[in-house]
Amino acid sequence: MLTLLIRVTLCFTLMQTMKTHNFSAGPCILPGQVFEEASKALIDFDNLGLSVIEISHRSKNFVAVMDEAVALVKELLQVPDTHEVVFLQGGASLQFAMVAFNFLSETGTAEYLDTGAWAFKAHKEAAGLGSATIIASSKHKNYNFIPKGYAISSDADYFHCTSNNTIYGTQMKSFPETNVPVICDMSSDIFSRSVDVSKFDLIYAGAQKNLGPAGATLVIVRKDALGKSGRYIPTMLKYQIHIDKGSMFNTPPVFSVYVSMLTLRWLKENGGVEAIEARNAAKATLLYNEIDRNPLFVGTAEVEDRSTMNACFLLKDEAHKTAFEALVKAAKINGINGHRDVGGYRASMYNALGLDSVQALVDCMQELEKTHA
């Protein structure tokens, strides 16, 4: 066991000395110390002589992990007592249906803001169950902006939005004031900035951006918003069931929850959400300033709606593509290829990405300018 732990430590040290700048859109970069702690727990968790992935999820050791993860979510996001926190499975995509089952009545209508592929898919899932309307969309401009000035019906069952759009590099900077329940998919920017949780009836997020490895889904839900749809809900899709069972109605994604807990610890140790928000703003400013300054590049999203998490940009002349990508490869920069719907490049700057990684990318852009402008 000791020999294995030594090998893990040596491997981790080697990884640190051969740093790759990871701009992957997701699954994405996580803090180095989280990888180190998680790798040790894979071999020996809590000095049990057992791996974290082979112990019972109902053991006191793992129950303590779940309890701490939930407590950290509440602390870091200042979740009010009116809301519950649960860890589920199925990613944000399962939430598209789960939200509709729990909030859309058989005679009511849900209203959706369409800001990208995931928002559109969320609407499609609800529309398959009942009445769901898109009240505003930026699809006609390839989702390069966030619609504004739309009206939400006062009798809608709920309003659904997606706070950040990884594919197109746009982000909601504010949320509408309304008397109907507000539900938000925050998969790609949760824990990256301060939000007033009390303004939302439900927030959901897949773990694989700022929280942990793929597998877990975080849900924050207002207690008194549940039990009103009046429709049959499959047991596995009932939020109240998972609340009542403490996220243990069925076997949870043990490793994903454990790593999420470690990431939340790291976030707390590094100043919490407000501190990381400032660092994220600095990273985004550095990159967007270079995109706007450099004559060889152009951003794709409207400036006022640019995401601090995902910056999308293009080469003005594709003739420079080979040269730029050679510079990027030499700098050990990974994961900046743009999504096929947008093309070009996408730099995802999640919480664990350092400013030095963004500077490495900016250096490549400036080097290209020196040799090809």
Query: Same structural domain for residues 153 and 100?
Result: yes
How does DSSP classify residue 337? Answer: B
Residues 351 and 277 in one domain: yes
Q: Which pLDDT belongs to residue 19? A: 84
Q: Is 322 found in the same domain as 305?
A: yes
For residue 80, being part of any structural domain is answered with yes
Same-domain check for residues 198 and 305:
no
* Predicted pLDDT of residue 151: 97
Same domain, 35 and 107: no
3-state secondary structure of 238: coil
**78 shares its domain with 186:** yes
Boundary of a domain, candidates 204, 234, 269: 269
Q: Are residues 146 and 227 in the same domain?
A: yes
For the annotated catalytic residues, the residue numbers are 118, 185, 209
CATH number of the domain bearing residue 122: 3.40.640.10
Domain assignment of residue 25, yes or no: no
| CB-CB contact of 77 with 220 (8 Å) | yes
CATH for 346: 3.90.1150.10
- 118 and 226, same domain (yes or no): yes
Q: How many domains does the chain have?
A: 3
Task: Give the separation between CA 361 and CA 21, rounded to whole angstroms.
Answer: 9
pLDDT string in tens for the chain (373-residue length): 545 444 545 444 444 556 899 999 989 999 999 999 999 999 999 999 999 999 999 999 999 999 999 999 999 999 999 999 999 999 999 999 999 999 999 999 999 999 999 999 999 999 999 999 999 999 999 999 999 999 999 999 999 999 999 999 999 999 999 999 999 999 999 999 999 999 999 999 999 999 999 999 999 999 999 999 999 999 999 999 999 999 999 999 999 999 999 999 999 999 999 999 999 999 999 999 999 999 999 999 999 999 999 999 999 999 999 999 999 999 999 999 999 999 999 999 999 999 999 999 999 999 999 999 7
Residue 20 in any domain: the answer is no
**pLDDT of the residue at 10:** 45
Residues 189 and 116 in one domain: yes
Range of the domain at 8: 1-15+30-55
21 found inside a domain: no
- Does 83 share its domain with 47? no
Residue 336 falls inside a structural domain: yes
Q: Both 65 and 180 in a single domain?
A: yes
The reply to whether 85 falls in a domain is: yes
Asked if 344 contacts 314 with a C-beta cutoff of 8 angstroms, the reply is yes
For the residues of 13-63, what is the DSSP string, one character each? HHHHHT--EE--SSS----HHHHHHHHHHHH-STTSSS-TTSS-TTSHHHH
Q: What pLDDT does residue 373 have? A: 79
Q: Which two tokens stand for residue 142?
A: 């390839």
- The sheet that has 158-162: what strands, in order across it? 83-88, 217-222, 202-206, 182-185, 158-162, 109-114, 131-137
Q: How far is CA 211 from CA 12, 48, 266, 269, 357, in A?
A: 20, 26, 10, 15, 19
Residue 38 lies in a domain: yes
Domain presence at residue 153? yes
Pair (209, 345) in one structural domain: no
70 in helix, strand or coil? helix
